[in-house]
Every structure is written in C-alpha cells, then in structure tokens.
Amino acid sequence: MAEIKNLEIDIESFSDVDLTKCGVYKYASAPDFEVILFAYSVDGGPVRQVDLACGERIPAEIIAALEDDTVTKWAFNANFERVCLSRYLGYPTGDYLMPDSWRCSMVWAAYLGLPLSLEGVGTVLGLEKQKLTEGKNLIKYFCQPCAPTKSNGGRTRNLPADEPEKWEAFKSYNIRDVEVEMAIQARLSNYPVLESVWEEYHLDQEINDRGIMIDRELVDQALLIDARSKSDLMARLQAMTGLDNPNSVQQLKGYLAGRGIEADSLGKKEVAAMIKTVPGDIAEVLSLRLQLAKSSVKKYQAMRNSACDDDRCRGMFFFYGANRTGRFSGRIVQLQNLPQNHIPDLAEARSLVKCGDYEALELLYENIPGVLSELIRTAFVPQLGCKFCVADFSSIEARVLSWLAGERWRMEVFVNNGDIYCASASAMFGVPVEKHGRNAELRQKGKIAELALGYGGSVGALKSMGAMEMGLAEEELQPLVDSWRTANPNIVRFWWDVDRAVKKAVKQREPSVLQGIRFECRSGMLFITLPSGRRLAYVKPRIGENRFGGESVTYEGVGGTKKWERIESYGPKFVENIVQAISRDILCYAMRTLSHCRICAHVHDELIIECRKDASLDAICEQMGRTPPWAEGLALRADGYETEFYKKD
C-alpha cells in the first residue's frame, strides 16, 4: 500500500458501561469493552470495513497509521474513536493515542455554526447520502447489554449470530457513517478551520486525557450521608404532614390547600418566597422540602460514575460546545455549573463528611444537603505531593467590551486595577463610591447594572439578575438602565454600529470592518472575523421583522428548544457573541502559554493547574494575564490562589 496521508474512521463498540452517564474514558476502560466494527477510508478512497466481532483483524498498515503522527486521522467526534482505539491497542488507563494527528469533523461543523450531530449536519447540508436512521436501534441491540429473557435464551448480550440480518444492516450503517463524514468534509472544504483552532483542540484533548482527580473517600461518604439525610428528612416530613410522599408536588399542594395556602408552583424560587409569608410550622415544612429537593448532590454520583481506576475524571470538557462563540461546554460532572461555597469552616465540614460523622454534621449544621452541595468543589483534589494553583481573569467580559467600544473611563479603571462596580456606580450617580467607604450602598446597584446591562439588557434583564430579591423597587429599574447607558455612551453606540455592520453585510452583501472585526456574507453564511483571526459563522442569514415591527437579522441555528430553527438577533446580541468569543480566545491564548503546566480543568475564565508544591502562583498569574499580540491596548489581569482542594475563593 502507498504511503497513507489521511484516514477517515468510524467504529462501533460494546461496553456494559453507560456511555451517556460515565463518558468515553470510563466506557472504554470497562473489562468487557471491545471494538466490534471498524470502517475506514484511506486518502478518500472506497470505504473498507473490518468485522472484528466475527474474527476479522485490522490490517497491520492501518494499525501502524493509527500510531503514526504524520498520518491525519479524521472522525466525527474524534475523541470517541481516539480513546476507544487506544484501549483496543492496549494502552493503559491514563495513556492514549496522541491527539496531535487527529482532526474532528464535528469541530469543523461547529466552527461553521452547524449542528453537533452527524445526522443534523447531513440534513442541514442536504447531502445526497444521509446517516441511516435505523442506527439508534441497532446500536442499542449490538452495543449495549440486553435483559435476559426466556425468548432470548437468557443471554445478556446480542451477538451477530443472534440476528444475522440485523448485523448486516449494522455493518451498512457503520460504512454509511464514514461516507457521510467524507461528504461533510468535501462540502466544508472551502471554509477550513484555522490551524490555531486545531492546536487549541489538541490542547483540549490533552486536558481531557489528563483529567482531574477526585477524593473518592469524600465522594463515597457524601453519597452515604446524602442517602441518610434524605431518609431522615422524608420521615420528618411524613410525621409533620401526614402525607405518604411529601416529595410529591401534587400531595404537598393538597396539604397546603388544606391549610388555606394556594401554591401555583413548588419551584425553588417560589417556595423560598412562600417561606417568608406563611406560618412557622408551614415554613418549616417548606424549608425541609427545599432540602429534600436539593439535586446538586447528584454531581457526587456523576464523579463516581466517570472516575477511572486512577480516580481521575476524564472527558469533562466539550471543545466548541457553544458553537456561536466557540466556548467550551461541560460534560458529565458539568464543572461549569458547580454550586458556590460560602460556609466559613469549609475544611472542617469537609473533614466531617470524609470521616462520615453524620451526628456531628447534624449537630453543627441545620441543612446537611446544603453543606454537601457546598462541598462538591472540594471533591476535586491534586495528586499526592501537588497543589492546585487556580487562576482566573478579572472582569474579562467587561474589559473586552470596554476595549472594543473605546469606553476610556472604564479602560482606565482596569489599567489602575480599580473596582468596576464602584466606578460604574460613581459614573451612574455622579458621586464617589467606595467598596467599604463613601456611598458604599450604591456599589450593589453598580454591580447588578454591570452584570445585566452590557448587552442591551433593560428592566427584564435586571429582574433576571435578581434585582427585586436584592431589594430594588420596580420604579428604580428603568432609571438604573438609563443611568448606566448615559454613563456608557460608547458601548451603546457600539451595539448599533455592530447592528448596522451586520445588516449591511446581509442586505447589501458588502463587507465592513469595525474595531478590527470584519463582517461579511459569503455563500449563504454571515462571517464575523475576530481580532484573533477566528471566525464566527451564522447559517443562511436574512433580514426579517421583529415583534415590534422593526428590522432584524435572522439565521439558522440550534435555539433555546435545542432544535435547529431560525433565530432572531440584533446588534447588542451580536456584541455579546463577539465579546464572549474574544474572551474565549484570550482564555485559549493563556492555556497555550501555560501548556507546559498541568492544566487539569478550566471553568469559564478560570484555569485549575495541578503543580508541584514549590510552583509560583505569581508567575502563573503573570503569564496568564499577558495580552495577546492581536489585542493591543486591552488591559488584562489574572488573580489566583493556592489550595489543597478546589473551591471558590
């Protein structure tokens, strides 16, 4: 065979581990894991298939190509193929095929704003050959354990010989996936992914391969304590209410109605509000219900499900998970939405849970589920002999927005390491505001305005951010919006400059450049090229009419319903995409400059680095805070802390 340059791969595999709950790293490390079908194409040639389940073997030259870093390997969601094939080749836990020679056509699709499923991409692109729809049932039949029944002879796994016709259909499905992947690449070939983005993808794969360690003893004890706590709470509620299942919404609503209290909803916010207005005994019932309904402790189970034999959770991050900005999204444990920790004696509470001292927890804390929730972060620990250095960007989105809009007073605040909430309140109300000094009460208004109003938000955005719970009155909200916009005229102007640039590109097909950002339409796509050179893509843009009868831009994408649909947007929303995308590029730049460190996780704009005890936190923060060469004039700052377990400092 001639020298191989490219391999297109799709595999099918069996494991008794639930892939959706545990992730591919745990899935592929199960004792009974095996690759059962291997379909491939060499350099765009015809698709060949190896039926491993029926005794065939992958050719030696293909095995060699898998381990040859000069051969580019392609797959849709390539992380799955790479990890599974590492196991097939005999690599031990924690050791995987190097990601540098792998490319992922799912990342390519996401880069162009397309769906994150092979079927979805094929449909949107209108490919002649589509993914075979019967695949889901065939995967369930051949790739997952089955329940033993009389009719199947008590077997727990379906093999090719059990249903030869189904097996032939499954083989066709496997081959078709490779054909569809190749067709997608051919269709997208005019819009290649930047080489720098592939480098970011490879770094992401290294971080996913490395994983982050859990304190398994803490996790196991937390689950035992949670089960006991729920049992105790249920017994107390049954005794207080006389209900069989006080966790039932219907039963509890009936109980409340019998006490003259009509509850439209028993959601967390609604129950918290009711507690303030109902009699004491009812308030106690509702408070216990909130504790019983605490779902965040399920993350301990997710940790246990996904941790490999070396106690490291792998595959926690999904590269380009947010395809309108290119930001990472979380998988499995979902580090991006961990509960915060506020209890002052975090280490002591952690010790009590780790040694399983339920009685002491009950004595010291009114709310055991709440304590367990606050300790979730602390279940992530560095390996023996190491520490965590946790560093994050200070007000990264506010800095990027101010820099793009040229809002100079804000940029000076950042250059001088000032408090943007105080400075914003001072600009809004025309008086000096100090965090713990003069007019300190105004800082909170500055903070909520900063968090809610930067992307065109108004009264509704303030309410969503909790303005009413903070004690602000309804009549204060619109003046707050007006004050913030008056104090930030360049940001407001930037929203509508972007709006005009996008509409010009869509309506007139004329490109324009604004603050180093290029807007253009080509081949049915709106592209916004960022200062880093990376592009945001919006599929099939057109001018539509918004609900107010005005002009708006619409495009196709995955919307709030998680389905492919037409989405409406406008200037401030595009600004939000741009700012978050640039913030993401800055994080990736920092990850690359710190790639010599053991980055084991990242959360929003924060890096978690597992390092030796003598490593310098100051050096890490200094390096992280360096401004990329394409963002001249942008003042960045990174702050951090050292810890023996992860926490929110």
The string of pLDDT tens digits covering residues 539-548 is: 999 998 887 7
Distance between CA atoms of 356 and 377, rounded to whole angstroms? Answer: 18
* Beta strands 102-104; 72-75: pairing state: parallel
Going through 139-241 in order, the beta strands assigned E by DSSP cover: 212-213
Whether the Cβ atoms of residue 7 and residue 72 lie closer than 8 Å to each other: yes
pTM over 0.85, yes/no? yes
**Is residue 423 within 8 Å of 411, Cβ to Cβ?**
no
Highest averaged pLDDT of the listed ranges 287-296, 451-460, 575-584: 575-584
Helix axes 216-241, 298-306, angle to 10 degrees: 150
Mean pLDDT for the chain? 93
Cβ 389 vs Cβ 617: under 8 Å: yes
Query: Is-contact 313 307, C-beta < 8 A?
Result: yes
Tokens read off for 210: 């490395």
Q: Where in the chain is the domain with CATH 3.30.420.10?
A: 6-193
**Amino acid identity for residue 529 in this structure:** T
C-alpha to C-alpha distances, 298 to 217, 302, 372, nearest whole angstrom: 16, 6, 10
Quote the DSSP letter at residue 116: S
* C-alpha closest to that of 437 among 419, 450, 449: 419
Neighbours of 160 (CB within 10 A): 17
The sign of the CA dihedral 302, 308, 309, 311 is negative
pLDDT digit string, tens, across residues 395-445: 999 999 999 999 999 999 999 999 999 999 898 888 998 888 888 888 888
- Asked if residue 640 has pLDDT above 80, the reply is yes
Task: Write out pLDDT tens, residues 217-256.
Answer: 999 999 999 999 999 988 988 888 888 888 888 888 888 8
3-state secondary structure 292-357: HCCCCCHHHHHHHHHECCCCEECCCEEEEEECCCCEEEECCCCHHHCCCCCCCCHHHHHHHHHCCC
603 burial type by CB count under 10 A (0-12 exposed, 13-18 middle, 19+ buried): buried
525-529/535-545 β-pairing: antiparallel
The yes or no reply on domain 6-193 and CATH 3.30.420.10 is: yes
CB 172 within 8 A of CB 131: no
Q: What would the mean pLDDT of 85-108 be, rounded to a whole number?
A: 96
* Terminal CA-CA length for the chain: 58
| Least-confidence region, from 1-5, 183-187, 451-455, 485-489 | 1-5
The pLDDT of residue 544:
85
Q: What is each CA distance from 344 to 479, 647, 648, in whole angstroms?
A: 37, 12, 12
531 closest CA partner among 586, 572, 570 = 586
Asked whether the predicted pLDDT for residue 2 surpasses 80, the reply is no
